[in-house]
Amino acid sequence: MPDASRDVPVHSSPAVAANAEGDEIEVLESIDVLPVAPEDQWKSLFDKFDSESSGFISTERFRDLLAAHGSELDPHKLEVLLALADGNADGKICYQDFVNLVRMSNKRSNSFRRAILQGSRQLKGAGALGEEVGLGLSQRLVRHIAYETLPREIDRKWYFDSYTCCPPPWLILAITIAEVAVFMYYGLQLDRWVLQVSSPHFLRGPLPYHPKLRIQAWRYLSYAFMHTGIEHLGLNMAMQLLVGVPLEMVHGALRIGLVYVCGVLAGSLAVSVTDMTAPVVGSSGGVYALVSAHLANVVMNWSGMKCQFKLFRMAMALVCMSVEFGRAVWLRFYPPAFPPCPNPSFVAHLGGVMVGLTLGVVVLQNYEQRLQEQSLFWIFFSVYLLFVLCAVFWNIFAYSLLDVRLPPTL
């Protein structure tokens, strides 16, 4: 077999691009990261190294190929390429994986471009993140969260390498503390901890959404801090902390806050359009936006997600969501304690799910990538803004046009 390294044209190394300005990223689109060799030569190399595994070679053999044919690349960039090629971290690379890595420049992900442009960023260790030993408790926690939320090994390594807990995941914790404080206040004021909604003073406060007070715009968001009882708060708080805090640690408060607030607002607006006479309380819109986005991200990247017992844990998450949603449906149609005012609506849950399956999925799938550069983000965000605009006009004109009889605020 002819030597694959002889007479091989070598293109510009990304080591040069790593020190260039960020606006020169277009140049990388037309540059092969590895030297180009005839496909039959590369195929022969793969077949030679592993004739018993149908075209697979080990990552160590592929490392030797990178070192031999990509001599202009500095060592940490070789590690980046190795991690990208072995995306599922199984220690094997097939010929097609290599072809996709080298030739499909027009389909390279933003993570790939970021890997090359940020070539100065060191990767600690060549093996899979899960194989690292001697980690402290906090490092093991960060590694666990990386495997819980990120489907790509290179992203998990980068997150583990760069996470400093500064700032800490403050947003979800602050929202949870505020919800508990509001619940304690109303619990003491109403002298009721279970089914607080059955108290005649529950809906008189400044926080819950009530259709007769819909002119007070803050209620479309503030209703999330009130809950119908300890059973409602407990389920929402558990899902909010178990899912929201890890997501905030990975994606940051700004992105997770965007998904959460959009879910809360979509929940109240969905109620005002579809369940026009019902009030709304609870953070289920925001919680369901986060949980459904995370579950959808896990399903869409099932083979890449390396979290333990993921099928069982998904089933438990769905059970918790179903129990909470079932409780809300039962309460909505249960005879109200003070007719004609109905019990709080359950439609806010569905509004949150819709936000999570659209806007939330796009946010979670683009780790450390600029959302403003993602066309799908702008499509879903535009649809969301259109929904908000239509719901606002509905609230202004529909109630009077349809002559809806609104219940009193008690």
CA 330 – CA 344 distance, rounded (Å): 10
Q: Model confidence at 148, in pLDDT bands (50, 70, 90)?
A: confident
Q: Which of 14-18, 126-130, 341-345 has the highest mean pLDDT?
A: 341-345
Annotated domain spans of the chain: 37-104, 170-402
Give yes or no: 54 in active site: no
Range 170-402 classified under CATH 3.30.450.40:
no
Catalytic member of 13, 283, 284, 292: 284
At 57, give phi and psi (nearest 5°).
-130, 160
CA 312 – CA 377 distance, rounded (Å): 30
Q: What is the pLDDT of residues 329-354, one digit of tens each?
A: 999 998 887 777 788 999 999 999 99
pLDDT at 8 over 90: no
Q: Long-range contacts of range 144-148, CB-CB < 8 Å, 24 or more positions apart?
A: 145/246, 145/249, 145/250, 146/250, 147/305, 147/306, 147/307, 148/246, 148/307
Q: Can you give the pLDDT at residue 17?
A: 33
**How much is the CA Rg of the chain, to the nearest whole Å?**
26
Q: What is the pLDDT of residues 210-233, one digit of tens each?
A: 999 999 999 999 999 999 989 899
Tell me how far CA of residue 38 lies from CA of 35, 68, 84, in angstroms. Answer: 10, 16, 22
Q: Can you give the pLDDT at residue 192?
A: 84
The CATH number, out of the four listed (3.20.20.80, 2.60.40.10, 1.10.238.10, 3.40.50.670), of the domain defined by the range 37-104: 1.10.238.10
Give yes or no: 201 in active site: no
Q: What is the pLDDT of residues 105-119, one digit of tens each?
A: 334 444 444 544 444
Tell me how far CA of residue 86 lies from CA of 90, 91, 100, in angstroms. Answer: 7, 7, 12
At 341, give phi and psi (nearest 5°).
-75, 120
Q: What is the pLDDT of residues 273-301, one digit of tens each?
A: 999 999 999 999 999 999 999 999 999 88
